[in-house]
Amino acid sequence: MKLCFVTVGATASFQKLLEQILSSQFLETLAKRGYTHLLIQYGKDGQQIFQDFIDSDQPHHGLTLGGFDFQPSIDAQMMMTVEREALNQERGLIICHAGTGTVLAGLRLGVPLIVVPNPDLADNHQQELADELEAGNYVISSSVNDVGNAISRAETQKAEVLSMRTGNTTLAESMSDELGFLD
Amino acid sequence: MPFSFASLSFWDLLLWCAILAITLGAGTLIVLLLSLTISQNIIPPKRRRRGSPTHLLVVLGSGGHTAEMLYMLERMNFDPQIYTYRTYLVSSGDNFSAEKAKAFEAQLGQSYQGHAHSDNYTIVTVPRARRVHQSYLTAPFSTLQCFWACLNVLRGRHPDQKLPKEYSSFYPDLILTNGPATAVCVVAGAKFIRFFLCLAKCAALCLGLRTLSSLTSAPKLRTIYIESWARVSSLSTSGVLLLPLVDRFLVQWPAQAGRRAWWGMKRTQYAGWLVI
């Protein structure tokens, strides 16, 4: 299984991204790059668009589609994009809005990440974070219309972030100093 | 000429009252600023033996703050043999944070068998400082209510708290927070209590009542604030409010390093990413 997981955020609607994801052109790109599954968390207003697509006879390009509106935690879904041989899982892809929680969770998994800021939401510091992460090569930032082209760029990204995991002891040292432990 | 109150006109009286009020206000402000500056620059003495019981208070907040806090604890390889007792403080109605804290403790229990079980932590709930959409007119009252509840938690008077006997004091040793509104109440409360503990210590010294134990005790109610990973270049509201209050201010982006509340205060410390 090679999964592309798309999340548009639970609070605001992001219909443009949803329409782009369900376009024949995007599905074809996914299929060409070896993806087998597409799972979409479509948010509060997305159900209609998703259902219309399923009911219509538009081509799926061999992809297995799934969708849900909201779940308290999407950790389990994100985990399905991590490479695990025992489960026959290939390294997948996460496409998400610029919500910090989702971006951070994705980075921690070391999965290719495409961040699509929602132009209808003017949240300055979220945009700032997305820019900074793109500049540091941690994520690929893309506009709604360009998502298809961003896939190949995202896949060639190395899991650099995971190498940062080794030994940041600043917090542990700070806590120990404040408590005044004898050396 | 003898002084008589009768000779004072209404305007004279008003003038004197105004001068008195301004002097008192300025005096209080100077004492406050000075004591905050002194307090932040005192290095905690190394008096705690390794392995002695240590009580940690972790302030959790809405979804994002809680997730980041637990990521950080996980990433630092949190050791329940060092931080032997944990109190998690959540706001009322925030079941998500309470559940996450329970899951984190369950995970600790698996990695450190025998050292982390349900007797070694509590989750306490305090009322929210300001609910979403609450009017700003009533917000000061709910903030006061929250502050009072936080004071009670810090003094170990919250009904859900059941600290084991081997802990010499009800005050937590260290407070860890990353920014929900409640954190401001908790840290302000900790400073408030420390101020009075310090006064009591000074008074005992002056009166010759000093006992050796009170002077050699390990530091208590120390506070560490970690600015959210999502804040690249500007501090959050809680961060701005807590900058002069916390003992240590960690930031995760270089542009945030070196800030301070005013001249003579401690600067923010760049720690790198702590959440990954």
Mind listing the pLDDT tens digit for each residue in B95-150? 889 999 999 999 998 888 766 566 789 999 999 887 777 888 888 899 999 999 99
pLDDT digits (tens, 9 = 90+) for B151-195: 999 999 888 888 888 888 889 999 999 988 899 999 999 999 999
Chain B residues 46-65 with a CB less than 8 Å from chain A: 46-50, 54, 63-64
**Partner residue facing B72 (CB), from A132, A171, A180:** A171
The amino acid at B98: A
**Partner residue facing B54 (CB), from A100, A179, A182:** A179
Domain boundaries, chain B: 54-270
Q: What is the pLDDT of residue B247?
A: 96
Across B230-258, average pLDDT: 94
pLDDT tens for chain A, 183 residues long, are 999 999 987 667 788 899 999 999 999 999 999 999 999 999 888 889 999 999 988 888 999 999 998 887 888 899 999 888 889 999 899 999 888 888 998 888 888 999 988 877 656 677 888 888 888 888 998 888 899 999 988 887 755 565 566 668 899 999 999 999 987
Nearest-CA residue of chain B relative to A166?
Answer: B75
ipTM: 0.89
Q: What is the pLDDT of residue A165?
A: 63
Asked if B174 and A171 come within 8 Å (Cβ–Cβ), the reply is no
* Res B213 pLDDT > 60: no
Chain-centre distance for alpha carbon A124: 20
CB B251 within 8 A of CB B228: no
* Structure tokens that stand for B52 in this block: 């002695």
CA atoms of B214 and B267, how far apart (whole Å): 30
Q: What is the pLDDT of residue A125?
A: 74
Q: What is the pLDDT of residue B70?
A: 94
Size of interface A-B (CB pairs under 8 A): 104
Residues of B in contact with A107 (CB under 8 A): 276
CB A28 within 8 A of CB A61: yes
In this structure, are strands B121-126 and B85-91 parallel, antiparallel, or unpaired? Answer: parallel
Asked if A165 and B75 come within 8 Å (Cβ–Cβ), the reply is yes
Nearest-CA residue of chain A relative to B254?
Answer: A132
CA atoms of A75 and B196, how far apart (whole Å): 45
Q: What is the pLDDT of residue B99?
A: 92
The residue ranking higher by pLDDT, B7 or B14, is B14
Q: What is the pLDDT of residue B116?
A: 54
CATH topology of domain B54-270: Rossmann fold (3.40.50)
Q: Which positions ≥6 away from B80 have C-beta within 8 Å?
A: B86, B108, B112, B115, B116, B120
Q: What is the pLDDT of residue B175?
A: 97
CA atoms of A84 and A86, how far apart (whole Å): 6
Residue closest to B255 by CA, chosen among A131, A97, A166: A131
Reported as a pLDDT band with limits 50, 70 and 90, residue B207 is: confident
Domain boundaries, chain A: 3-180
Q: What is the pLDDT of residue A164?
A: 62
Q: What is the pLDDT of residue A127?
A: 80
Place of tokens 């025998």: B114
Q: Which CATH superfamily is domain A3-180 in?
A: Glycogen Phosphorylase B; (3.40.50.2000)
User: Rounded to the nearest 5 degrees, what angle is found at the Cα of B135, between the Cα atoms of B134 and B141?
Assistant: 90
Give the burial class of B149: count Cβ atoms within 10 A of its Cβ; 0-12 exposed, 13-18 middle, 19 or more buried. Answer: buried
* Structure tokens that stand for A58 in this block: 């538009």
Asked if A182 and B50 come within 8 Å (Cβ–Cβ), the reply is yes
The amino acid at B261: A
CA pseudo-torsion sign A16, A17, A18, A22: positive
Q: What is the pLDDT of residue B162?
A: 83
Edge-first strand listing for the sheet containing A93-96 = A64-68, A37-41, A3-7, A93-96, A113-115, A140-141
**Partner residue facing B48 (CB), from A105, A126, A181:** A181
* Res B212 pLDDT > 70: no
Chain B residues 187-206 with a CB less than 8 Å from chain A: none
Q: What is the pLDDT of residue B210?
A: 61
CA atoms of A95 and A3, how far apart (whole Å): 11
Q: Which positions ≥6 away from A21 have C-beta within 8 Å?
A: A6, A38, A40, A95, A147
CA atoms of A96 and A141, how far apart (whole Å): 10
Q: What is the pLDDT of residue B174?
A: 96
* Phi and psi torsions of B65, nearest 5°: -60, -45
Interface test with A, best of B52, B104, B232, B234 (most A CBs within 10 A): B232
Interface test with B, best of A168, A169, A173 (most B CBs within 10 A): A168
Q: What is the pLDDT of residue B118?
A: 64
Q: What is the pLDDT of residue A97?
A: 86
Place of tokens 């087998």: A36
Q: What is the 3-state secondary structure (H, E, C) of chain A?
A: CCEEEEECCCCCCCHHHHHHHCCHHHHHHHHHCCCCEEEEECCCCCHHHHHHHHHCCCCCCCCEEEEECCCCCCHHHHHCCCCEHHHCECCCEEEECCCHHHHHHHHHHCCCEEECCCCCCCCHHHHHHHHHHHHCCCCEECCHHHHHHHHHHHHCCCCHHHHCCCCCCHHHHHHHHHHCECC
User: Rounded to the nearest 5 degrees, what angle is found at the Cα of B128, between the Cα atoms of B35 and A73?
Assistant: 120
* Phi and psi torsions of B172, nearest 5°: -65, 150
Q: What is the pLDDT of residue B163?
A: 86
pLDDT digits (tens, 9 = 90+) for B9-67: 888 899 999 999 999 999 999 999 999 999 999 988 888 988 889 999 999 987 789 99
State how far the alpha carbon of A62 is from the alpha carbons of A3, A33, A43, A87, B274, in Å.
Answer: 13, 12, 24, 21, 41
